[in-house]
Homo-oligomer: A and B are copies of this chain.
């Protein structure tokens, strides 16, 4: 009994089950995939695969379906990339490039993923923490008030006011501004702020002002801890064919628990490239029947946030991975310009 063929059988089972949504038996397997062996032989392979935990039988007299472990093996070893069509790529590009501002870009990315995968899309808004600084603007508002405007390289704008004893003069401001912006190039915000706060060689009166500015910016970073998520395509969950039509509640609940969902995404951000969590691997009860596919996006390879797709464990992994990766790539490009 060849171990290699057994993997072919597993691949065939996954592909068949994903496309038909029916438990697959030995006969159709032998017919549809030219494996060159008889159903009886396949049955033996299936028995072994079941012992090893890759597939399971919903009922005694039914075919087999892949387990989480089976999908995991399929994703890691058995699946091949499924490139998007040129038309699809072009559609992504033009749709994203029509966005008018950051919110719109994120919303459009969400709709794209939902539409391409036929599943739920999740997009994290670019985080201040992980963004680079495009420009920091300092504006004296008079009466000792200073307006700090942070413009990130993802196009996000955030402003904070700072109360000072007295208004600094324009030259000082100009110097602080140019010094900070010089240090900033290509670095992330928290890093910039700590670098700036400890720049010992700077003149003392400037250092004092810079320290105050850094404090305010740090404060903004902390407040932002409740990052925002965008969901799209939740109606897809109720589509015919999603096996949990009748057990939607837990899934919807899990998706509404944005804090928990964010935790999962953050964990997944640690993986390089596209990250896949299958079924119970998500560690979330509500998502036990679903898989999550995510990847990072941002500027020039630096991840500023995640985006991804959530669907039934019985999803088209190669297609979903391709869609998520493509949208992330174009999104990064749009943000970078």
Spell out A's residues near B (CB within 8 Å): 100-101, 103-104, 137, 139, 141-142, 147, 149, 157, 159, 174, 223, 226, 228, 232-235, 237-239, 245-246, 248-249, 252-253, 255-256
Q: Measured between alpha carbons, how far is A215 from B226 in the docked complex, in Å?
A: 35
Query: Given A147-B139, A149-B159, A249 and B239 touching (CB < 8 A)?
Result: yes
Q: Can you name 13 A-B pairs with beta carbons within 8 Å?
A: A101-B223, A104-B226, A137-B147, A139-B139, A139-B141, A147-B149, A234-B234, A235-B249, A235-B252, A235-B253, A238-B252, A239-B249, A245-B246
Q: Measured between alpha carbons, how far is A252 from B235 in the docked complex, in Å?
A: 5
CB-CB under 8 A from A142, the residues of chain B are 174
CB-CB under 8 A from A100, the residues of chain B are 223
Query: Given A137-B147, A159-B157, A223-B100, A232 and B256 touching (CB < 8 A)?
Result: yes
Q: Measured between alpha carbons, how far is A256 from B149 in the docked complex, in Å?
A: 33
Query: Given A141-B137, A223-B100, A238 and B234 touching (CB < 8 A)?
Result: no
CB-CB under 8 A from A139, the residues of chain B are 139, 141, 147
Q: Measured between alpha carbons, how far is A147 from B141 in the docked complex, in Å?
A: 12
Smallest beta-carbon distance A243→chain B, Å? 14
Q: Measured between alpha carbons, how far is A228 from B245 in the docked complex, in Å?
A: 29
Q: Which of A142, A252, A253 has the most CB of B within 10 A?
A: A252
Q: Measured between alpha carbons, how far is A118 from B252 in the docked complex, in Å?
A: 14
CB-CB under 8 A from A245, the residues of chain B are 246
Q: Measured between alpha carbons, how far is A237 from B251 in the docked complex, in Å?
A: 12
Smallest beta-carbon distance A141→chain B, Å? 7
Q: Measured between alpha carbons, how far is A228 from B141 in the docked complex, in Å?
A: 30
Given A139-B147, A237-B252, A238-B252, 10 more pairs with CB closer than 8 A: A101-B223, A104-B226, A139-B141, A149-B159, A159-B159, A235-B249, A235-B256, A239-B249, A245-B246, A248-B248
Smallest beta-carbon distance A181→chain B, Å? 13
Smallest beta-carbon distance A197→chain B, Å? 24
Q: Measured between alpha carbons, how far is A139 from B138 in the docked complex, in Å?
A: 10
Smallest beta-carbon distance A222→chain B, Å? 11
Q: Which of A137, A139, A235, A245 has the most CB of B within 10 A?
A: A235
